[in-house]
Structure 1
Amino acid sequence: MHTLIVLSHPTPQSLTHAVAQAFAKGIEQSGQHTTENADIAAEAFEASYNPADRSAYLEQAALPFDVLREQQRIDKADALALIYPVYWWSFPGQLKGWIDRVFSNGWAYSEGADGRVEKRLGRLAVHLIGIGGADSGTYARHGYDKAMRTQIDHGIFGYCGARVVTSEFLLDVNGPAAASHLATARALGEKAFAHLARGTDRSVAAEAA
């Protein structure tokens, strides 16, 4: 099985990159699975939704080359992992722009003439790892974790039919909990395809509920 790991952080020495590496090692340790990194900051992915994207949506014009390239990377993968720092209780802007442009009508979903939506990413397993500075108590007290899962897990991936298998926050990065984050990321990678062995599509979040 193959996983595309999309990470969004401009600094290679960041915790985000270290978490992505640990997650990849966890996936690859069995020798049965492979990973590919899509470092969209290093690759200078253009995040702004532009007239060409709009034409593709409204007029069924051809998608821009960079969007097609990203879709092809996902098409080759069995799983998609997004690993990112939490900015203002959401994705970094570049990662949100990546979603805006790449998850296009006709590929991630289709809108029928009757208004019904066809979910087109049902084959895809998704792993979400957000990295935040605040502690878990802050997230729970203000409902940030629930709000982000509603927006991202359900609003984006649920809309397209993709299965969110992992939905985790690695928090309090400047506190004592940070020391365990790389081990946690590796452990998440080790069980990234455990849902296949269990014969279930239930997400980690659903199991914890």
Structure 2
Amino acid sequence: MAGKNVLIVYAHQSSGSFNAAAKDVAVKVLTEKGCTVDVSDLYEINFKATATVEDITGGVKDPDCFSYAEETKLAWEEDKLSSDIVKEQSKLKKADLVIFQFPMYWFSVPAIMKGWIDRVLTLGFAFSPEKRYSEGMFRDKKAILSFTTGSFESMFSPNAINGDMNVTLWPLQNGILHYCGFQVLGPQIFWAPAHVSRSDCSTMLDGWRARLQNLLNEQPIDFPLLEYFEKDTGFQLKPEIVELRATEELGISVGIHQGKKVPPNNQMRWHVKENRF
């Protein structure tokens, strides 16, 4: 892990929070392991969450029918993105690992972190129609969601009121991170730290501290490869892939389950890749 660059995208308002403690543990452990750690403290820098025309300097191509994706792609190509976006993209370009540290809000990330995603992961820089998913821009980088919940673990199961956490994670891990090509590590979930004892909080942080020792060497979550899908049919699974899995009880992944049962813990931990594909 020595010599690796780590970016922590951190979103919490309080330096006394559990999220702050988790962020500090990561900085300390990874620095001691020889990594260079950079923290983007989104509340501290008052990062702008809204994606607007102000993100582009020097005017836009079509002000009457403004397309954020297309205009920021042009601005990225012409070095006309706003300085705060350029700064974050520069950090991201150097990073071997990105840790997103946040409290889960409404089953997703806080608005300020979603703004970082919307504004920093621009078309052209982070993805393109040709370079996405397993062929994505960031396929040589790893990423992990590290977050706190307001509910206990028992409430995030297939039979519980909040539903399966694997389903909750699919849009974030597949639709954002894997879409940009990241190798996605299993999430680090801190279950309801606000509702447990200080001792239990310390135990959770100790578990994170231990995991960080070898985090960069972990195997990523397994997602279906882009080559499994046929472009001419609207990116449906190729017939040969469907045929190979016809007798399987479980689908390929949480989001692509082929009408079968959803694979358990598909978004929570690494699974052995299926070499027969």
Distance 1:144 1:87 in 2: 16
Quickly say closer, same or farther: Cα 1:202–1:151, change in 2 above 3 A: closer
1:1-209 equivalences in 2 (<5 Å): 1-30=4-33, 32-53=34-55, 57-59=69-71, 60-61=74-75, 62-111=80-129, 117=132, 119-140=136-157, 141=160, 142-173=162-193, 174-176=195-197, 177-195=200-218, 201-202=220-221, 205-207=269-271
Q: Identify the structure with bigger relative contact order (alpha carbons < 8 Å, sequence gap 6+).
A: 1
Superposed displacement of residue 208, structure 1: 9.1
Residues 8 and 92 in structure 1, CA contact (< 8 A), matched pair in contact too: yes
Residues 125 and 164 in structure 1, CA contact (< 8 A), matched pair in contact too: yes
Query: Match of 2:203, as an amino acid?
Result: S
Q: Between the two proteins, what is the percent identity of the paired residues? A: 25
Distance 2:167 2:122 in 1: 23
TM-score, length basis structure 2: 0.66
Distance 1:202 1:133 in 2: 25
Distance 2:164 2:85 in 1: 30
User: Residue 110 of structure 1: SS of its match in structure 2?
Assistant: coil
Unaligned 5+ runs, structure 2: 56-65, 223-267
TM-score, length basis structure 1: 0.86
How large is the RMSD of aligned CA atoms in angstroms? 2.3
Superposed displacement of residue 201, structure 1: 4.6
Distance 1:111 1:208 in 2: 28
Deviations, residues 121-154 of structure 1 (Å, cap 9, x unaligned): 1111112111112110111223252233201111
User: Residue 109 of structure 1: SS of its match in structure 2?
Assistant: coil
User: Residue 5 of structure 1: SS of its match in structure 2?
Assistant: strand
Distance 1:123 1:182 in 2: 28
Query: Match of 1:162, as an amino acid?
Result: F
Deviations, residues 16-72 of structure 1 (Å, cap 9, x unaligned): 111011122222233x22211110110111010112456562241332221111000
Q: Which has the higher helix share?
A: 1
User: Residue 26 of structure 1: SS of its match in structure 2?
Assistant: helix
Report which of the two structures shows the higher radius of gyration computed on alpha carbons. Answer: 2
Superposed displacement of residue 109, structure 1: 0.3
